[in-house]
Structure 1
Amino acid sequence: MLTPRQTLILKTIIDEFTKTAEPVGSKRLMTLLEISVSSATLRNEMAILEDYGLLEKTHTSSGRIPSSKGYRYYVENLMDTQLDSGVQNALSEVFKERHYTMEEIVVKSCDILSQMTNLTSVVLGPETSSQTLQHIQIFPINERSAVCVFITSHGHTENKTFHFDENVSLKDIQTCCNILNDHLAGTPISEVVNKMDEIRPMLSSQVSRHEILFQAFTSAFVKFASDNVYTSGASNMLYQPEFADIEKLKQLMKFLEDSSVWRQLGSSNEDISIRIGTDNQVIPMENVSVITSKIKLSNEEEGQLMVVGPTRMPYNKIVALMEYMAKVIEDLYRDDG
């Protein structure tokens, strides 16, 4: 159990190191603390915190830096996650428009997170592998374009706008849609593309522009069945001193490009999950932390917001931002549902 003074020292060192990425020595600490403590006393207290495993001493400085255990203590005992009202208002304004598709809301959330944290964000859309296709609706705009809506067994909808290189009749579009509904309803999303090949001869015998429509629907299903994993702000890692080593940066970029990594990280049952440094087994890099927040889009569908960065990240601000953003998105879907 830390004393109040040790708690204050630990929190102050974490706050300062988060801002500067520089080890904090006793002399610097004296100028930061609001209490009057001698340099010798501070060195003694810092040594105790080091013995507890909450601080570490670097090889290049007499100062201390927080350890993964120190950050864990901070997020579990000392973190205040109040979000500034100005940020709340700004986020509410961004999501004011009520007609976003699932893809648009995921991409927009990803971009906002990376911009507001200056870190890398990853957003997972709902997992589609366990869902089946229930129905297809198509709304012609003109002879060269139409909007198609796919509806799954979980009530998830996905919109796709088709633009054709040649004119396609309303009759052909409707006939194609009817054939697909008759033969694809109840098919797992992951198997729809393969089943499209089976019904291709039927389309060619009943639909004049069958090849154009076949290609349009197949490409839409491929996109729909793929992992909805979006990444934004990967280049922000270039400006983090922890990744000045090009080999470390390459290693991190490799993880960022692997969608299976993010599905594993998103498997936590907690609404907010904070993986810090060495306690993160999915990305085994000691200087990397990942914060994950669930988005409950419906009773059966969930998405995930994630922020990836150095263990030095400002956990309190990021957690507050992600919690509020998740609430805004959930409210948006609840109102539209």
Structure 2
Amino acid sequence: MELTQRQRIIFKKVVERFTYCAEPVGSKVLMELLDFPVSSATIRNEMATLEKLGLLEKTHTSSGRIPSKFGYRYYVENLMETSLEAPIKASLQSVFSQRHYSLDEIVEKSCSILSEMTNLTSIVLGPDSTHQVLVNIQLIPINAKSAVAIFVTDSGHTESKTFHFDEAVSLEDLRNCTSLMNDHLVGVPISDILDKMQEIKSLMAAKLVRHEVLFEAFTEAFMKFASEKVVVSGQSNMLYQPEFSDIDKLKRLMRILENSHLFKEWAQQGSNQAIPIGTRNELIQIGDCSVITAKFHYNDLEEGQLMVVGPNRMQYSKVIALMDYMSDVIEGVFGVHEEGDASDEQKE
């Protein structure tokens, strides 16, 4: 679809104005926004043309127009300019460089930051470890009632869990438990670990004094390891979006956002429109909602995903720029970027 330069500018202004104020945009407002002289009548004619092309829609309650779903897609693919202010970049770098974060902490922190900075709902998916194979277990004592367990998989993924025991566990029990676990669990897929734990329960009872305490601790740790890492933040932000003033619609969306299985079904419907944005991002249109996704890597084999969910009327350039930069920062935390591999924005 070829638009004239004037049509492109007018359409871009309509999208940016509407995403900001949620009010239909009329010719008089556009006259004030445009940086070149043009009459109100000419603007109305151009808007009528854009409507015929399917980029704009006319509402029943106003003479102004709003972007259509197709219009948002056209904007993202052809007109959007992404940029992130230097103070925001510095703030993100500072947050993630303050200390060493675990995988779970990175997922939770990223989710919280995204929802706060976009005023939308954010979802962060950690890597799926269920298809990985356990290659090593270490159990490091802290004191008589606590220890740190470290699990390593064939993908290079490392996960740690601090155990706090109700009763003292001897160093001998910890050494014997580590040996037993490595003898019987190494080489087992994460998805099968819990079943395998039941099989070695009797061995633990025969070799360990505090076998019940250690069995319970490891079972809980493996359940967490094998579970899907999904964090959702900012659901209440939807309350302030005029598109979700219908309480029944809002309740349905909340149920979807709070259930990972429902969310996957919702996001993978055949009627959805998915538009790739570069190599990392994707826009998925689902009815009157949009989902922006951004992939990031923990290592060469594992990837996670940032998601922002909101109405089709969202500030795409800001959201996408933020997610893209955050993905780079997270990869930097895990040392994924080789020297010279960071984005141009990070080099600035």
Listed one character per residue, the Cα deviations across residues 213-235 of structure 1 (whole Å, up to 9, x for unaligned) are 11110001001100001111111
Listed one character per residue, the Cα deviations across residues 4-57 of structure 1 (whole Å, up to 9, x for unaligned) are 111111111111111111111122222222222222211111111010000011
Match of 2:147 in 1: 146
Distance 1:182 1:336 in 2: 35
Match of 1:155 in 2: 156
State whether residues 331 and 337 of structure 2, in contact with CA within 8 Å, keep that contact through their aligned partners in structure 1.
no
State whether residues 98 and 336 of structure 1, in contact with CA within 8 Å, keep that contact through their aligned partners in structure 2.
no
Q: 1:81-92 maps to which residues of 2 (within 5 A)?
A: 81-92=82-93
Cα offset, 1:97, TM superposition: 2.9
Find the residue that maps to 1:334 and give its secondary structure: coil
Structure 1 portions without partners, runs of 5+: 281-285
Listed one character per residue, the Cα deviations across residues 272-300 of structure 1 (whole Å, up to 9, x for unaligned) are 11113xxx4xxxxx221011111022111
Cα offset, 1:261, TM superposition: 5.4
Cα offset, 1:260, TM superposition: 3.4
Match of 2:341 in 1: none
Match of 1:283 in 2: none
Cα offset, 1:205, TM superposition: 1.0
| RMSD, aligned CA | 1.9
Find the residue that maps to 1:146 and give its secondary structure: strand
Cα offset, 1:180, TM superposition: 1.2
State whether residues 98 and 332 of structure 1, in contact with CA within 8 Å, keep that contact through their aligned partners in structure 2.
no
AA in 1 matched with 2:284: R
State whether residues 25 and 66 of structure 2, in contact with CA within 8 Å, keep that contact through their aligned partners in structure 1.
yes
Match of 2:280 among 256, 271, 296: 271
TM-score (norm 1): 0.93
Match of 2:171 in 1: 170
Match of 1:127 in 2: 128
Find the residue that maps to 2:334 and give its secondary structure: helix
- Per the alignment, do residues 321 and 336 of structure 1 end up closer, same or farther by CA in structure 2, a change over 3 Å counting? closer
Cα offset, 1:321, TM superposition: 0.7
TM-score (norm 2): 0.91
Match of 1:301 in 2: 302
AA in 2 matched with 1:145: S
State whether residues 300 and 336 of structure 2, in contact with CA within 8 Å, keep that contact through their aligned partners in structure 1.
no
Find the residue that maps to 1:131 and give its secondary structure: coil
Distance 2:213 2:61 in 1: 65
Structure 1 stretch 59-68 or stretch 250-259: which is displaced more?
A: 250-259
Distance 2:246 2:24 in 1: 18
State whether residues 25 and 64 of structure 2, in contact with CA within 8 Å, keep that contact through their aligned partners in structure 1.
yes
Q: 1:25-104 maps to which residues of 2 (within 5 A)?
A: 25-104=26-105
Cα offset, 1:61, TM superposition: 1.4
Runs of 4+ deviating beyond 6 Å: 266-269
Listed one character per residue, the Cα deviations across residues 251-287 of structure 1 (whole Å, up to 9, x for unaligned) are 21122122235667599994111113xxx4xxxxx22
Distance 1:261 1:96 in 2: 35
Find the residue that maps to 1:140 and give its secondary structure: strand
State whether residues 131 and 152 of structure 1, in contact with CA within 8 Å, keep that contact through their aligned partners in structure 2.
yes
Distance 1:147 1:320 in 2: 38
Structure 1 stretch 140-149 or stretch 26-35: which is displaced more?
A: 26-35
State whether residues 256 and 262 of structure 2, in contact with CA within 8 Å, keep that contact through their aligned partners in structure 1.
yes
State whether residues 275 and 291 of structure 1, in contact with CA within 8 Å, keep that contact through their aligned partners in structure 2.
yes
Cα offset, 1:184, TM superposition: 0.8
For these two proteins, the number of residue pairs brought into alignment is 329
Distance 2:209 2:298 in 1: 40
State whether residues 129 and 190 of structure 1, in contact with CA within 8 Å, keep that contact through their aligned partners in structure 2.
yes
Cα offset, 1:98, TM superposition: 4.4
Distance 2:52 2:130 in 1: 48
Match of 2:185 in 1: 184
Match of 2:12 in 1: 11
Match of 2:271 in 1: none
Find the residue that maps to 1:95 and give its secondary structure: helix
Distance 1:307 1:114 in 2: 8
Distance 2:156 2:299 in 1: 9
Listed one character per residue, the Cα deviations across residues 176-219 of structure 1 (whole Å, up to 9, x for unaligned) are 12111111111111111111111101111111111111111000
Distance 2:11 2:63 in 1: 16
Distance 1:44 1:268 in 2: 29
Distance 1:335 1:314 in 2: 29
- Using the aligned pairs only, state the percent identity: 57
State whether residues 131 and 153 of structure 1, in contact with CA within 8 Å, keep that contact through their aligned partners in structure 2.
yes
Match of 2:330 in 1: 329
Distance 2:218 2:337 in 1: 26
